[in-house]
Structure 1
Amino acid sequence: MMRTWQITNVTDAARARIATARLAAAYGVPTMERSRLATALSAQLRQCLTKGGTWQLLLEITAPGAGPDAAPVLRATVAADGTGATGAEPWRSAVACSGTADGADGEVPRDPAALAEALLGADEDTAVALEKLAEQEELVSFHREELHQTNQGVLALHAELDAAGRAQREAFAAERAARTEAESARRRLTFLADASAVLTASLNHDEIVCRLPDLLVPEYARNVDVWLFEQEDGRGGSAPHPAAAVIAARTGRPQYAADHPGGLPGVDDLPASAAGGAHPLLCMPLPTRRAPLGVLTLTPPGEHWDPDDAVMLIELTRRASIAIDNARRFEHNRDIAETLQRALLTDLPTTPGLRLAARYLPATHGLNIGGDWYDAFRQPDGSLITVVGDVTGHGLRAAVMMSQLRTALRAYAVDGGSPGQLLTRLHTFLHHLQPDLYATAVIARFHPDDPTVTWAAAGHPPPVLRLPDGRVEILDDKPGAMLGIPLRQQIRDHTVPLSPGATLALYTDGLVERRAQGIDPGIARLASALGSFGTAELDAGLDESADRILGPLLSDSERDDDVCLLLCHIDGGTGPQDRDARRLRAAGRS
């Protein structure tokens, strides 16, 4: 369908607009689309009237296209008809229709009343569009408010997220700082523990002093100076020392000398003049319970010390002072004990037909002086008493107690008595003299006219007897209990025959006992070593034989206990000295 209108004045334009609206309504064009079409057409027609001339409005309903969803289209075209209107590009618009309207022609009456009524009817579409526009404005206003609220929430959320981010960053920074501080504290504690182990590993105070610079340089100090008062007194002179070190020695407090305060905990600040040089000085006294041993002076590895490092250095100085003081005490007690030990080592007597060889080795750990001892002396009846004993413990006290037991035994032996009787008296003596100190001992008595040996033991490893034919017996008859324990006891004597060439070994547990193995394997090794000798070897060199016995038994260089060995060998008559000894014995009997 196609309709055409000639437009030359405003009435023609009004009639054309009304016709277009009615035709669009008849073909089911939606209200909003119809209003848009009418409004756009009105504006175009107004422009045409302004330009003047005759214009033509062409309305065309096209058939629907292919496809189930296709619909007719209403097309409007405004163009000059060539009868006086100026040329211009045609105006076109198209809207989709939703149906067909048979018989609708879009004609509008020409009388004014009908035209006015048609114009008023045309405003209904405008009213509907305005109503929908109002609804859209309300909806837009609602969404605008919601958007505003959403934006406010987003802003608040961003603010919260930003605050949470800052708090998280601060927490991470605090955690890193705490981790760094903990790592520094762990490093200082590890250093302090390792340094303490190094300082206490030695009992030589000179060695401890030499180890201090190695521990501190270069991490905690550039230079280290150790000023020991006793060493300076021993040199007979006074070496120059910084004023800060002198003040630390006089006051007993750590001193820091630099051109600015150090602010170190527990350290007094001094002016730069007390430093005596271009670098700061940290002077720390070496404290003891009585008086400082000296002063440790350090220069910093950088510009200054960290306060926590200074606290650690003061603690290290305290521990070093204790180690040096303990080493000096140890050296003093060791000198006394060694002097006493040397004084108490017996010169073995010479007896025709009986040879003696003794060995004493101190422990390689600790004070090196213990309570082990050996002795050999004659009784008034001509018998020879040999004894090996061991006082529990080490150090000066054990050495003194050993001396007292040795003296008491010699005194008791003057009155005679068998080995068991002598040990019984020693047991009573020790129990009353030192109730908290104990000892073990074994005594063997040889008589020149008796081819036997009488022995007795109190808590001591059993004697080992090598027979002339090379067989070895362990004399493990039931011994008495340890000397000094709170128990009344009578220690029994045991007697075994002796033949020329026999050897009796008395020893302490340090020779045969090892922590990982016990004592029995050690006794077996001693028996094997003693049995490996021939009678001629023992006759010719008993001292060399004693050294050869100690070799395999003490192959390890570390000994936790003293070692004592006493060999008693009956001449086998294999050399000229043995023949001389037999002649002397015969002369004595005659």
Structure 2
Amino acid sequence: MTDPHDSREQLRRLQLVTDAALSKLGVEDMLHELLVRARDLLHADTATVMLLDEESGDLVATAASGLEREVNLGIRVPLGRGFAGTVAASAEPVAIDRVDATTVVSPVLVAEHMASMLGVPMITAGRVIGVLYVGARTPRAFTPADIELLQLIADRIAPATQARLHSLDRATAYALQRSLLPSRPPDIPGLEVAVRYVPGAQVGVGGDWYDVFELPSGGIGVAVGDVAGNGLRAAVVMGRIRSALRAYALETDDPADVLTRLDRKIHRFEPGAMATAIYAVIDPTLATMALSVAGHPPPMLAAPGARTHLLPVRANLPLGTHISRPRHNTEFPLPVGGTLLFYTDGLVERRARPIGEGLHRLAGAVTATGPDELCTSVMATMLDGEPAGDDIALLALRRT
């Protein structure tokens, strides 16, 4: 027969974990409060959250109460190894009553004389995102009720930590991306230039970029690109690719050669990354330009007295495809008064609209007007009052 005192105690513990007032706290305060309650309710000395770094496959100490040193030291545990790694790999609770180098990876747990530990997986959307565990310096046996309670706490912590990471990731990526994208294009005699960058409402910041710079030869380099993916990793990769393109552009005025070198760099130092890009070099007289396209939508040209059209470029493979093929340049005249629009695919692609339809709509919106006015009108037409579903980068230039 169930002891009524035990039942009442378990109910009290569950109420403390499911307390609706916790939802009114900010993410950081809620996480801290839940870790403190986990320690108190399970009579433990420490409670720790380790989150899975999907890129490295390691669990990383992210938040703690009672043993903050694990977080401060950046303790990492490979998936499948030791106590925490086993919890994450099996997606099942694990309890141990011996804490030494044979059962745990973290030397801090051994140094702090932990005697018993209980860990449970943190799961969201059907996948393990980390581990919550408690430790006690006094030997003890964890009961099924303890496991149930700790799992309930983990279920509350999981979305809070994801929200925390998403917020940090988004804010950091946005700050990084804004620092890498010039807010004002350089003043170039004979050219008017305008740029726009709009982060996607759904996926947040990502790997879109634009660039305009003067070359040692007197020509002008123009680049627009899009790193596959979104968030902090895409923004970081974008920054490295943009910097590398600038460096290669100083060595040669051949756009295809620059993209070939950039592709080689991505293969070597950015495994798994993929990007589309256009790189163009406008000659010092501004009369012509050569450009090379790596899987990117071609620019659109509007000239006085002519029909707006996509430049008939010779397309090449995206960067990072691991297929080695020669890259090619295409040369075009740049007419006086002509306006050229470079853009990323977020401008023309929608889930419910084929890209061909988006390009047709864009052609109707591009006119031989000032670049700044053009960027504004194009964004208004293409978004039609809706938030951007993907990042959008625009670069418009007109030969005056």
TM-score band (shorter)? Answer: 0.5 to 0.7
Deviation at 1:223, TM superposition (A): 5.8
Mapped contact 1:421–1:490 kept (Cα < 8 A): no
Residue deviations 1:87-143 (CA, integer Å, cap 9, x gap): xxxxxxxxxxxxxxxxxxxxxxxxxxxxxxxxxxxxxxxxxxxxxxxxxxxxxxxxx
Q: Deviations 1:329-352 (Å, cap 9, x if unpaired)?
A: 112222221221111012311111
Letter of the aligned partner of 2:41 in structure 1? A
8 Å contact kept, 2:195–2:394: yes
Return the alpha-carbon distance in structure 2 between the equivalents of residues 323 and 230 of structure 1: 12
CA RMSD of aligned residues (A): 3.6
Gaps of 5+ in 1: 1-215, 254-284, 293-309, 572-590
Calculate the TM-score normalised by the size of structure 2: 0.65
Tell me which of 94, 114, 131 is aligned to 1:289. 131
Q: In the aligned structure 1, how far is the partner of 2:311 from the partner of 2:348?
A: 15
Residues 424 and 489, structure 1, Cα contact 8 Å, conserved in 2: no
Contact persistence 1:435–1:485 (CA under 8 A)? no
Larger radius of gyration: 1
Q: Which residue of 2 aligns with 1:440?
A: 276
- Which has a greater percent of helix? 1
Q: Which residue of 1 aligns with 2:201?
A: 364
TM superposition shift of 1:289: 2.3
SS in 2 for 1:561: coil
- Larger RCO, structures 1/2 (Cα 8 Å, 6+ apart): 2
The equivalent of 1:546 in structure 2 is 375
In structure 2, relative to structure 1, the CA distance for the partners of 1:422 and 1:291 (3 Å cut) is same
Among residues 309, 323, 341, which one is paired with 1:473 in the alignment? 309
Question: Following the alignment from structure 2 to structure 1, what is the Cα–Cα distance between the partners of residues 154 and 225?
Answer: 41
SS at match of 1:338: helix
Aligned ranges for residues 80-159 of structure 1 at < 5 Å?
none
The equivalent of 1:193 in structure 2 is none
TM-score by length of 1: 0.45
Q: Does structure 2 conserve the Cα–Cα contact (< 8 Å) formed by 1:369 and 1:395? A: yes
User: CA 1:229 to 1:325, structure 2 compared with 1: closer, same or farther past 3 Å?
Assistant: closer
**1:71-470 alignment, distance < 5 Å:** 224-225=21-22, 230-231=28-29, 247-248=40-41, 251=44, 289-290=131-132, 317-346=153-182, 347-366=184-203, 368-470=204-306
How many angstroms apart in 1 are the aligned matches of 2:211 and 2:37?
58
Shift of 1:485: 1.1
Aligned match of 1:166? none
What 5-or-longer segments of structure 2 have no aligned partner? Answer: 1-14, 48-119, 123-129, 135-145
CA distance in 1, matches of 2:351, 2:26: 40
- Is 1:501 the equivalent of 2:294? no
* Residue 396 (structure 2) aligns with: 567
- Between Structure 1 and Structure 2, the one with more strand by share is 2
User: 2: CA distance between counterparts of 1:221 and 1:417?
Assistant: 64
Q: CA deviation at 1:229?
A: 9.3
Q: Percent identity?
A: 35
Take 1:443 and 1:487, find their aligned partners in 2: how far apart are those partners?
19
Which residue does the alignment assign to 1:482? 318
Separation in 1, partners of 2:350, 2:311:
21
SS at match of 1:289: strand
**CA positional deviation for 1:409:** 0.8
Residue type of the partner of 2:395? Answer: L
Distance 1:407 1:479, change over 3 A: same
Aligned equivalents of 1:316 and 1:560: distance in 2? 35
- Structure 2 equivalent of residue 268 of structure 1: none
Q: Work out the CA distance in 2 between the residues paired with 1:348 and 1:405.
A: 19
Partner Cα separation in structure 1 for residue 350 and residue 358 of structure 2 = 8
Whole-Å separation in 1 of the counterparts to 2:264 and 2:180: 22
Structure 2 CA distance for aligned equivalents of residues 244 and 500 of structure 1: 70
Q: Letter of the 1:231 partner, please give it.
A: D
1:527 aligned to which of 343, 346, 363: 363
